[in-house]
Amino acid sequence: MMQGTMKAIVKPERAPGAKLDEVPIPQISDQEVLIQVKATSICGTDVHIYAWDEWSQSRVNPPYVFGHEFAGVVVEKGKNVTNVDIGDHVSAETHIVCGECKQCLTGQAHICANTQIIGVDRDGCFAEYVALPAVNLWKNDPELPFDVASVQEPFGNGVHTVLAGDVAGKTVAVIGCGPIGIMAVGVAKACGASQVIAFDLNDYRLDLATKMGATTVVNSINEDPLEVVRALTNGEGVDVVCEMSGHPIAMNQGFKMVTNGGRVSILSLPVRPVEIDVTNDIVFKGITVQGITGRKMYETWQQVSGLLSSGQVDVKPMITHHFPLEDFEKGFNLMLEGKCGKVVLHP
């Protein structure tokens, strides 16, 4: 067993902020693996925890190491582990599921009733090492650069949302161009959408959406999203809306811009209940509304690997910043300002 201490970004107390600390290297059980973290990306969830918003106050228990998106190399494995070897390049499904509930037993482990999330409910990967159950590991092609491999988890959110129904030959709107929205644009384009229309209020991120293949980008402050969609779709509306903004106004625009019989797939997490015109925007339009959480285990991961290794989606344009772990505050500040795509930390 590896002994000693390591550098880690710790959420030290129930207050805003985080600090770099020396903590013990985690010890593994017989079912677990120790991974040396080579790249770890900052997620919106981590920014919530850093800023100490209402959600994180109700969910996380400091002190602990946070972070959940990473790529690394297996350096130690428990005696019952058979699916990976020392030296393997890995990332991980961040939802640790029970394997016993109704959902787990019916092929829907991504909505396990007893889900624990790495870096939220237990120690995470903003550290030199992370210990994880071997069943959660996803083996990476050693050729895949660590920074690209580290964003597979949020990329999987985008893949799960876009591919929760047909997109080939269809018009797709992506509302909200945070990193997952920007990656969803790339997925929709790669999977044959006839148009990919991206909406946000932030021009920096709309530029990234263009780089990832958006056919039209709309700054919803300067242009009326519904008018733009009408003009681009012969007045019919879009076939698919991927809702990534969580904003009540933007969300309502999504329900108004979808065509009769279309689909609205919601990945965003609005902080308060949102008022929707169910009668006119859902029932009479005969649309399908889907909640999307996590990634399907492990169908989504296979799609992720396929899209990245084939080069059909190149996520490099949206990985905009790299910092050593020590400079994590620079990364969090960029995320808070929205002046970045994906920020990757290197322990």
Contacts of 15 (CB under 8 A, 6+ apart): 52
How many Å apart are CA 115 and CA 280, to the nearest integer?
35
Considering beta carbons, is residue 154 or 254 the nearer one to Zn ion?
Answer: 154
> Do 330 and 345 form a contact (C-beta atoms < 8 A)?
no
Considering beta carbons, is residue 124 or 347 the nearer one to Zn ion?
Answer: 124
98 binds Zn ion (CB under 5 A): yes
Q: What are phi and psi of 343, to 5 degrees?
A: -105, 125
Shortest distance, position 66 Cβ to Zn ion, whole Å: 11
Site string for Zn ion, 224-253 (x = CB under 5 A): ------------------------------
Interacting stretch for Zn ion, rule CB under 5 A, among 3-11, 69-77, 275-283, 320-328?
69-77
How many Å apart are CA 268 and CA 7, to the nearest integer?
32
Antiparallel, parallel or unpaired: β 69-77 and 258-266: unpaired
Considering beta carbons, is residue 34 or 109 the nearer one to Zn ion?
Answer: 109
List alpha helices for the chain, DSSP H.
44-51, 54-59, 102-105, 146-150, 152-162, 179-190, 203-211, 225-232, 248-257, 299-309, 328-337
Locus of tokens 């929709």 = 188
Site string for Zn ion, 327-346 (x = CB under 5 A): --------------------
List alpha helices for 145-268, DSSP H.
146-150, 152-162, 179-190, 203-211, 225-232, 248-257
Shortest distance, position 303 Cβ to Zn ion, whole Å: 17
101 binds Zn ion (CB under 5 A): yes
163 binds Zn ion (CB under 5 A): no
Round the CA-based radius of gyration of the chain to a whole number and report it: 20
How many Å apart are CA 277 and CA 269, to the nearest integer?
19
304 binds Zn ion (CB under 5 A): no
Considering beta carbons, is residue 192 or 338 the nearer one to Zn ion?
Answer: 338
How many Å apart are CA 70 and CA 273, to the nearest integer?
32
Question: Which of 34, 97, 251, 297 is in the footprint of Zn ion by CB under 5 A?
Answer: 97
Shortest distance, position 210 Cβ to Zn ion, whole Å: 23
Note if 95 is an active site residue. Answer: no
Which token pair is 35? 């991974």
Interacting stretch for Zn ion, rule CB under 5 A, among 105-113, 264-272, 277-285, 327-335?
105-113
Which token pair is 232? 């681009």
Note if 48 is an active site residue. Answer: yes
Active-site residue, selected from the candidate residues 45, 171, 259, 300: 45
Site string for Zn ion, 132-161 (x = CB under 5 A): ----------------------x-------
Q: Is the dihedral of CA 296, 249, 212, 39 positive or negative?
A: negative
Locus of tokens 């190399």 = 73
# chain residues binding Zn ion, by CB under 5 A: 9
Shortest distance, position 156 Cβ to Zn ion, whole Å: 9
112 binds Zn ion (CB under 5 A): yes
Site string for Zn ion, 8-47 (x = CB under 5 A): -----------------------------------x----
* Binding stretches for Zn ion (CB under 5 A): 43, 69, 97-98, 101, 104, 112, 114, 154
Active site residues: 45, 48
